[in-house]
Structure 1
Amino acid sequence: MTRSIDQVAQSYIHSPNKRKKLYKRTLLIVGLSQMFAGAGLAAGITVGALLAQQMLGTEAGAGLPTAIFNLGSAGAALIVGWLSQRYGRRTGLATGFIAGGIGAIGVIIAAVINSLFLLFISLFIYGAGTATNLQARYAGTDLASPKQRATAISMAMVFTTFGAVAGPNLVGITGKLALAMNVPELTGPFILAAFAYILAGLIFSIMLRPDPLLIARAIEANKQDHDIQANPTPYVHKTNKRGVAVGAIVMVVTQIVMFAIMTMTPVHMQHHGHGLGAVGIVIGFHIGLMYLPSLITGVLIDKIGRNTMTIAAGVILLFAGLVAAMAPGNSMFFLILSLSLLGLGWNLGLISGTAQIVDSTDPLTRAKTQGTVDVLIALAGAAGGVLSGVIVAHYSYAILSLGGGILCLILIPLVVLAKENKEKNALEISEKL
């Protein structure tokens, strides 16, 4: 007879050693799933804009795929967050990834029958994979100590690197596979995405037992029971709204800028005579720098601090925008440099902001808050995708890149003010005591 989660949790509540083992096992499971999920994520980024441009026959709509799958990601973030809050990480993450795989299959069918309506619907559903890919980073933090949280987030992102870098560099191979299957060449990466997302979902469904979020909740509930016995006052959920707001703004700004510049880079490259192989190399470097530096950046964020590394993110993103704006369009070196800096800046912003969110919530309400914040991140990506096509069509890629870099400077006063408010509140509390 299967024991209930409450019975299973009891053995973890009283055994720090078992919790440590489950924490490490959870990181490995998250890492394994993210290796495949990264490949699924890369499809829409690499050829989504090119596929839409081909089917629409106009450049102005090239940002629509990014916008649509980010809108789908926003809706999915809410659903995955709700499912995780109610049933645990396993159910939420498995459902989200499998939905993303079904969306990728729909994109392939839409391209075959040349249906824009089905393309947009499928991209919307495909966005579930993007949302779940982001929310998977939280699973590793459920049983992490405060000093391990950014490192735990970074571990999930490091494993994403393998699939995310391989995906763009398999554009040529998957394109040939698509042609061999008698479907359009640009659907090749979505064939890979369908397989990768569904496999990632199955890994979570089968292997993520016991559920780390449910165990973390049981541990927190047990702690609260002891606290109430010692001090019988009504318990208030420990959500730091200012901390949540700062973390959310950091991630929203970095997401808008990253998606805007990244979305239009393949189109910009085609204008200067670069082929799909070159596009795959540039996007591969970009995605590699989005995830691989997590080996170091997560540890730095835990040791140096969330605020300091957020400022570093703003500065790096500014340089990314400047290089992209001023670089010759036919120079692979500068294209790789600008997109690499863009990926690194996003990495620092995402991990810093995510750690801030985890720091500001407790396990009993954390998944719901995380899902809500990820809705904002997805909407930011959608806005960046839509605006990028419009700005490039009416102005230029240089104006888009320069504007994005300047926008990131807002992160510096944001964290300075947040730090001042935190210090002021701490001083007021100490004076009262």
Structure 2
Amino acid sequence: GVAAAGSAGVVAGAAAHRPALLLAALFVYGAGTATGLLARYAGAELAPPGQGGRATGTVLVAMTLGAVAGPNLVGPTGALAHAWGIPRLAGPFLLATAAYTAAAVVLLVWLRPLPARPEPAAKSPGGEPASGAGPHGPVRGASGVVTGATVMVTAQLVMISVMTMTPVHLTGHGHGTQTAGLVIALHVGAMLLPSPLSGLLADRVGGGPLAAASGGVLLCGGLLAGLAPPASVALSACALVLLGIGWNLALIGGTALLTHAAPVETRATVQGLADVGMSVAGATGGMVSGLVVTGSGYPTLAVAAGVLALAVIPAVALRGSPR
């Protein structure tokens, strides 16, 4: 509902040529869209026991469909806005107003009251003691929360750092913007399309092994990006695909760890704080990456980011320690 109101405000600000209204409405719109990525937690929360990973994957695939369809609707929505006397670039916000309104209605009608999800008795789907279970239950639960958040924040920092500078790197070596756009499109697809398989793996083997594997995949992506010859678009694309897959493993594995470990009464707050950490990491990575490339070059950035990703492996390995 907040996102719908914000997008309607953007349209109103654009139509009235009021920059202050436009910017204020964008702030409201952005606050509302934060629910999009948080929806993966809701999917895991409402799924039957042992199917939380697959539910998370389903939500992320739905996000993929939206990410693919959205840019292709810029033209038609712009034409509709122009026909109504509204600036063309406000057209996508007409679509956002309708889409978020529909989403709010669906949630109010079909998820009210919220379906109850039975809590697992003693073990999480990954075979680990649930929060509060066992001799070190509370400690293990707290460590699971910290580990899950650490995995997601680290992967976000690594992925954004390299992804942000890759188009700059490619165009700086003579490749066109269309080529750079294709590489980024492949990267975004790799970030989200493997979600059903990643979710199934999370349910079968647990979030810990998935999160640990993400460190190795992100390392391979960073090394390939840094060592690939600038003339090779194919190798750069492969590197960005590996970074996308590694990010996907980290997101679903970290989500599983955090969701299973967080106490029920504070779970939503913890999940929201973890996503705030991801946003801050992404913003930091985007800013720092430019400074690193300016001072040391793109290969240094990519290799350093890949090595940093290895930090998730000891974080996962130590999460069960009572200390």
CA distance in structure 2 between the aligned counterparts of 1:140 and 1:213, rounded to whole angstroms: 16
CA distance in structure 1 between the aligned counterparts of 2:140 and 2:112, rounded to whole angstroms: 20
Contact 2:206/2:256 (CA < 8 Å) preserved in 1? no
Contact 1:139/1:212 (CA < 8 Å) preserved in 2? no
Q: 1:389 aligns with which of 290, 293, 296?
A: 290
Q: 1:202 aligns with which of 101, 104, 109?
A: 101
The code of the aligned residue for 2:56 comes to I
Relative to 1, partners in 2 of residues 1:180 and 1:206: Cα closer, same or farther, differing over 3 Å? closer
Deviations 1:186-207 (A, max 9, x none): x999854x35543442232111
- Residue pairs, 1:81-100, within 5 angstroms: 94-95=1-2, 97-98=3-4
Q: 1:306 aligns with which of 207, 228, 236?
A: 207
Q: 1:158 aligns with which of 30, 36, 61?
A: 61
CA distance in structure 1 between the aligned counterparts of 2:163 and 2:248, rounded to whole angstroms: 14
CA distance in structure 2 between the aligned counterparts of 1:312 and 1:331, rounded to whole angstroms: 27
Deviations 1:8-64 (A, max 9, x none): xxxxxxxxxxxxxxxxxxxxxxxxxxxxxxxxxxxxxxxxxxxxxxxxxxxxxxxxx
Instruction: Give the structure 2 partner of residue 12 of structure 1.
Output: none
Contact 1:104/1:191 (CA < 8 Å) preserved in 2? no
Q: Which sits farther off after the overlay, 206-215 or 387-396?
A: 206-215
CA distance in structure 1 between the aligned counterparts of 2:292 and 2:271, rounded to whole angstroms: 31
Instruction: Give the structure 2 partner of residue 270 of structure 1.
Output: 171
CA distance in structure 2 between the aligned counterparts of 1:177 and 1:273, rounded to whole angstroms: 34
Which runs of 5 or more structure 2 residues have no equivalent in the other structure? 120-137
Matched, 1:216 2:122: no
Matched, 1:145 2:51: no
2:51 aligns to what SS in structure 1? Answer: helix
Contact 2:53/2:202 (CA < 8 Å) preserved in 1? yes
1:147 aligns to what SS in structure 2? Answer: coil
The code of the aligned residue for 2:317 comes to V
> Cα offset for 1:293?
0.3
> Cα offset for 1:267?
1.8
1:365 aligns to what SS in structure 2? Answer: helix
Count of aligned positions: 299
- Give the aligned CA root-mean-square deviation in angstroms: 3.6
CA distance in structure 1 between the aligned counterparts of 2:251 and 2:6, rounded to whole angstroms: 22
> Cα offset for 1:294?
0.8
- Residue pairs, 1:319-358, within 5 angstroms: 319-358=220-259
Relative to 1, partners in 2 of residues 1:199 and 1:344: Cα closer, same or farther, differing over 3 Å? farther
- Residue pairs, 1:241-256, within 5 angstroms: 241-256=142-157
Over the matched positions of the two proteins, sequence identity in percent amounts to: 41
With structure 1 as the length reference, what TM-score do the two structures score? Answer: 0.60
> Cα offset for 1:275?
2.8
Contact 1:100/1:125 (CA < 8 Å) preserved in 2? yes
> Cα offset for 1:272?
2.3
> Cα offset for 1:381?
0.9
Contact 1:238/1:361 (CA < 8 Å) preserved in 2? no
1:141 aligns to what SS in structure 2? Answer: helix
Instruction: Give the structure 1 partner of residue 132 of structure 2.
Output: none
2:145 aligns to what SS in structure 1? Answer: helix
With structure 2 as the length reference, what TM-score do the two structures score? Answer: 0.78
Which runs of 5 or more structure 1 residues have no equivalent in the other structure? 1-93, 221-236, 426-433
1:274 aligns to what SS in structure 2? Answer: coil
Contact 1:213/1:363 (CA < 8 Å) preserved in 2? no
The code of the aligned residue for 2:162 comes to I
Relative to 1, partners in 2 of residues 1:331 and 1:126: Cα closer, same or farther, differing over 3 Å? farther
CA distance in structure 2 between the aligned counterparts of 1:379 and 1:273, rounded to whole angstroms: 32
